[in-house]
Structure 1
Amino acid sequence: MKRMFALSTALLLGAFIANPAKAAVINGDFTAGLTGWDSLGDVAVLAGAARLSTASLDVDDFPAAAGAFNLSGNAAAPVGQPGGVEEFAGLPLGQLDPDPLNGSWAFEGSALRQTLAVQAGDTLRFDWHLGSNEDPLIGMNDYAFVVIGGVLAVLDDVFTGLGSGSFSHTFNAAGSIDVVFGIVDVGDYVGSSWLSIDAVRIATTPQPVSAPGSLALALAGVGVLARRLRHSRG
């Protein structure tokens, strides 16, 4: 009887005071390198931020030598092929091509991924910056993107102006969500571009806790249960 009473008490009180675990980004400031992150292609940590590039090891921006703008020693990964950037990002093959009907395809790129456990109302935030060796007047329109739960959003591209900013996204349901940052080389394999990501964090929504009156009712219920147990034993 004592064990049953203790178990009933623990379950009842636990239902009132337990709160869901808060969402957290592992190493969102990249002070521990790429710990906690999965990467594909040319990804490194420079000046306290993750940097993803389109630079290969075989071809680079003339007159620079091959691989001159590569950051990690790993070549940019293919796009539009099994095992490439789209598959890594959870996207169907071809989704990263800007306009294939008019001959605009993505050729290669790099990506960074982490799976987050989020609650409804949590907000993902991060800072980003896009840079490129492409000439915005005559070059190809490389672009940077984020994929959140399988949904693609473009952050910036070469033609728009190579900017920087802060991005936020609020989740409307709880779940385990893949967040993927990426950059792709559009139209060719030269004209290296890079995306910097920093300060990746989750702003959590406070979870409701039981009101004092509700907790008092719970304790009263425990008292009634205790009296019944004593009466049955008497």
Structure 2
Amino acid sequence: MTNAPQIAATVPLPISTQRTPMMNFSRTALLIALSGTVLTGTAQAATLSNGSFEQNFTGWNRTGNTSIQNASSGINPVDGTNQALLTNAGAATGATGLEDFFELTAGTLNGLGVFNGAGISQSFTANAGDTLSLSWNFLTNEPPTTVTNDFAFVVLNGVTTLADTNSSLLGASSSIFFDSDTGYQTFNFTFATSGIFTLGLGVANVGDAQILSGLLVDQVTVTPAAVPEPATVLGTLALGGLALLKKGTRKQS
């Protein structure tokens, strides 16, 4: 009887569980790629529009006496050919109506003695670190007083007074409507968080509705926060990956 040939058993080769330099480098490259996705895909641009009023009041909500003015008003716009003018004359909105328009707590403006006024507002998105800036000019025919102290204000994270009839900024005006103004000044606000915000701007009659005051607004912008260029960050990560590769190679030698 012939014996059947013996078939040698195949012994599986051992599989190393130790990471090689190439495996480390591949992992680093993957992290770099993922980091690039995060760096280029998180922040969204601010959405404030028509900040220089070149499309009249498109994008803005309004209440009270508001109009678009150009250089023929006696004061040149800061940017472009248009600027917004808010006044407490004519069809002005009462204090309670202004509080509703700006979504302020009842009594916020009434408590300041506001009789009536006008306002504009716009909602927009912004990111943490972005800076809102705008140009403003408070104008008035009201003499310095504490009783009928008309004022201009901004609503953003509360109410901030820009100027009033006692402001040291006031001087003779070239306006065809007003006796004195502050000249164009700049308001800046940096956002601590990202989200949807509402900017409000207004002018108020205090104590009575007898004397004219106004607010010119122009060049409302949101400037993005400075961030590292993606190429710079990715370059740093790439150098880190090469360092890991070099370290792994030394261990193998």
**TM-score for both structures, normalised by structure 2:** 0.65
Decide which of 150, 153, 156 is 1:142's aligned counterpart. 150
User: Counterpart of 2:193?
Assistant: 173
Matched, 1:96 2:96: no
1:196 is paired with a residue whose SS is: strand
Query: Aligned partners of 1:215 and 1:27: how far apart in 2?
Result: 42
Decide which of 195, 200, 205 is 2:220's aligned counterpart. 200
Task: Report the CA distance between 1:15 and its aligned residue.
Answer: 3.4
1:167 is paired with a residue whose SS is: strand
Aligned residue type for 1:126: L
RMSD of Structure 2 on Structure 1 (CA): 2.5
Query: Aligned partners of 2:129 and 2:48: how far apart in 1?
Result: 16
Alpha-carbon contact 2:87-2:212 (below 8 Å) kept: yes
**TM-score for both structures, normalised by structure 1:** 0.70
Alpha-carbon contact 1:16-1:215 (below 8 Å) kept: no
User: Counterpart of 1:118?
Assistant: 126
Query: Aligned partners of 2:146 and 2:119: how far apart in 1?
Result: 26
Alpha-carbon contact 1:143-1:154 (below 8 Å) kept: yes
Matched, 1:17 2:25: no
Query: Aligned partners of 2:238 and 2:42: how far apart in 1?
Result: 14
Alpha-carbon contact 2:145-2:165 (below 8 Å) kept: no
Aligned length: 182
List runs of 5+ in structure 1 lacking aligned partners: 1-10, 57-74, 100-104, 219-234
1:128 is paired with a residue whose SS is: strand
Alpha-carbon contact 1:42-1:52 (below 8 Å) kept: yes
Alpha-carbon contact 1:126-1:167 (below 8 Å) kept: yes
Larger Rg: 2
User: Counterpart of 1:68?
Assistant: none
Query: Aligned partners of 2:115 and 2:52: how far apart in 1?
Result: 29
Query: Aligned partners of 2:160 and 2:116: how far apart in 1?
Result: 18
Task: Report the CA distance between 1:216 and its aligned residue.
Answer: 9.8
User: Counterpart of 1:42?
Assistant: 65
Matched, 1:131 2:131: no
Decide which of 29, 39, 43 is 2:52's aligned counterpart. 29
Cα deviation digits, residues 3-51 of structure 1 (max 9, x gap): xxxxxxxx95643532422214201111110011111111111111111
Query: Aligned partners of 2:210 and 2:62: how far apart in 1?
Result: 21
Matched, 1:159 2:175: no
